[in-house]
Structure 1
């Protein structure tokens, strides 16, 4: 057996996910387990029902917001950089730049360091801590946008498109489909950075996590419900306003009741024109919370790992590109991880 083949032999792929054998715990397991370390709060990585969960305090709070007060037996909050030892395995968290509380899991055992990235992005984002590359022996990376076609444009240009559309159609409501965790809050931050200081109107499904972000010190400006009520407006009165809603709602009669809506969608997948067309999206906004192709390759250079494991997404293309760089690489083919819809 070669030296490369022996790297991180103490980590195994199981039906439940990535098992750290000597530690007796999993990283982002897709099934309920006794002990888990969680990278971030998206539902495909943070499942309910685990016994003990170690994660950042923000990720634990997100899980409680989404699943109720008891989504796991007990929570172990970890600050970024704080080290714990689980059955001889050192564990610490480094920022991933994906969403509030997101972290890479750094594992150290018998002189080897393995970094499990979880989901990550390299773009600036005022709503979460920026990604930091951690040198390691094995880098376990996502590859959601792991194809050369995926090169995300500058966020400022996408916001300029939104503001230009508002100037062209000042009486129409602009409704933007956006995921509830991370994307919605980042989109709000980008809209504010573009100079828009009016209230933004939210579908009810987006409000709890926006309130959680605000409780963690992320300023999102004035947010109001997009339905009639104590503070909201009837949908018929939202002419000229910007409304944010889950992707499922913009294809639903909920959005059709808005006044002459311009239907937009904020997602890295809007680079694929056919996806926008199939979703009835009039204004596609290419805004992603994942690294694009160039950023994935840059990250491989930054961490300097001689071996890379690709966990989900477009695995084969990134494996091929890593090998061309002289890196040992393989696809883990873990199931159950997708961009949250």
Structure 2
């Protein structure tokens, strides 16, 4: 029997009282099961951290000695037990090391997606589907009107100009994906990377990911070469350099409202769109869908007559 309160949303985050652990807690807890290393899912300081190796490396770089008490590293599909709940990590395809969390309790399987994507990405493990009774899915872009173009099509837009480009992107996941895409589809571009992004790139390489060609940002190089340079910067730097001259400003994101003022709109998202969520439900075959991180209203309307859909938010 599905337990309606197996996962509940508290001010600290998603809590499983049956196993006494939190999924991606927002405050420090005793037992934290971490899906991936983005800052809105992985804070520092938890006493026990259960995650993949890549997630631990990213967290230890970001939080240093405050990353956590004890890290319990788990490989994909390895089953471990937390107070009677059997847990395993399934590749989520979001960033390197990102995992869906499969939980089994009293014969019922609950699958927490964390953030995930179905689009191909050479820089991280591709998503894999497992069947579960309950699918707990993010709903960042759960709108029938939202359909992400392919990243391969989008990155080709950069070839439409020889002017230098300041390319804004998240330092973890999006940055590495863009470097790989530009190496494959924009061979004439010379890629410069902001110093704050480089440690994450190096961890990707440490974990065996072939990033292709890139180089640390050098102001003289950028100043002396007025064409075909791409300078990758994190969001805060991108916003602070809003008066930068001799560059085209581009920001890689799936959010339309963040594209309005830029010369090139680069719609590259690391989240599922509506069609991807539909495919995930088809593959997982749940009897219930619990939504999180966004609005599940459209999903509830769509499945009103055929599937139980409830919001955890």
Calculate the TM-score normalised by the size of structure 2: 0.95
Deviation at 1:217, TM superposition (A): 1.1
Gaps of 5+ in 2: none
Which residue number in structure 2 is paired with residue 298 of structure 1?
279
Structure 2 CA distance for aligned equivalents of residues 297 and 205 of structure 1: 37
Which residue number in structure 1 is paired with residue 120 of structure 2?
124
Structure 2 CA distance for aligned equivalents of residues 95 and 206 of structure 1: 23
Which residue number in structure 2 is paired with residue 267 of structure 1?
253
Deviations 1:141-168 (A, max 9, x none): 0011111221011222212211122xxx
Which residue number in structure 2 is paired with residue 86 of structure 1?
82
Q: Work out whether residues 46 and 69 of structure 2, in 8 Å CA contact, stay in contact via their aligned partners in 1.
A: yes
Which residue number in structure 2 is paired with residue 247 of structure 1?
235
Structure 2 CA distance for aligned equivalents of residues 197 and 86 of structure 1: 51
Which residue number in structure 1 is paired with residue 265 of structure 2?
284
Which residue number in structure 2 is paired with residue 331 of structure 1?
311
Deviations 1:275-333 (A, max 9, x none): 322xx311111100001111111111110001010011232122322335x11011111
Structure 2 CA distance for aligned equivalents of residues 53 and 256 of structure 1: 42
Which residue number in structure 1 is paired with residue 106 of structure 2?
110
Structure 1 CA distance for aligned equivalents of residues 225 and 12 of structure 2: 46
Bigger Cα displacement from structure 2, 104-113 vs 214-223: 214-223
Structure 2 CA distance for aligned equivalents of residues 234 and 193 of structure 1: 22
Structure 2 CA distance for aligned equivalents of residues 25 and 238 of structure 1: 53
Task: Give the match's secondary structure for 1:51.
Answer: strand
Deviations 1:94-144 (A, max 9, x none): 000000000000100101100000000000100111111111111100011
Q: Work out whether residues 177 and 244 of structure 1, in 8 Å CA contact, stay in contact via their aligned partners in 2.
A: yes
Task: Give the match's secondary structure for 2:265.
Answer: strand
**Does 1:310 pair with 2:296?**
no
Structure 1 residues 286, 203: closer, same or farther in 2, change over 3 A?
Answer: same
**Does 1:182 pair with 2:173?**
yes
Which residue number in structure 1 is paired with residue 184 of structure 2?
193
Which residue number in structure 2 is paired with residue 339 of structure 1?
none
Deviation at 1:87, TM superposition (A): 1.2
Structure 2 CA distance for aligned equivalents of residues 94 and 214 of structure 1: 22
Structure 2 CA distance for aligned equivalents of residues 322 and 181 of structure 1: 34
Deviations 1:222-249 (A, max 9, x none): 3222234xxxx45422421111111232
Gaps of 5+ in 1: 334-341
Deviations 1:248-285 (A, max 9, x none): 322323x6445x1011111111xx2x4322xx311111
Deviation at 1:91, TM superposition (A): 0.6
Deviation at 1:197, TM superposition (A): 6.5
Task: Give the match's secondary structure for 2:22.
Answer: strand
Deviation at 1:198, TM superposition (A): 5.5
Quick one: which of 207, 210, 223 aligns to 1:236?
Answer: 223
Q: Work out whether residues 20 and 83 of structure 2, in 8 Å CA contact, stay in contact via their aligned partners in 1.
A: yes
Calculate the TM-score normalised by the size of structure 1: 0.87
CA-based RMSD: 1.7
Q: Work out whether residues 198 and 222 of structure 1, in 8 Å CA contact, stay in contact via their aligned partners in 2.
A: no
Q: Work out whether residues 8 and 114 of structure 1, in 8 Å CA contact, stay in contact via their aligned partners in 2.
A: no
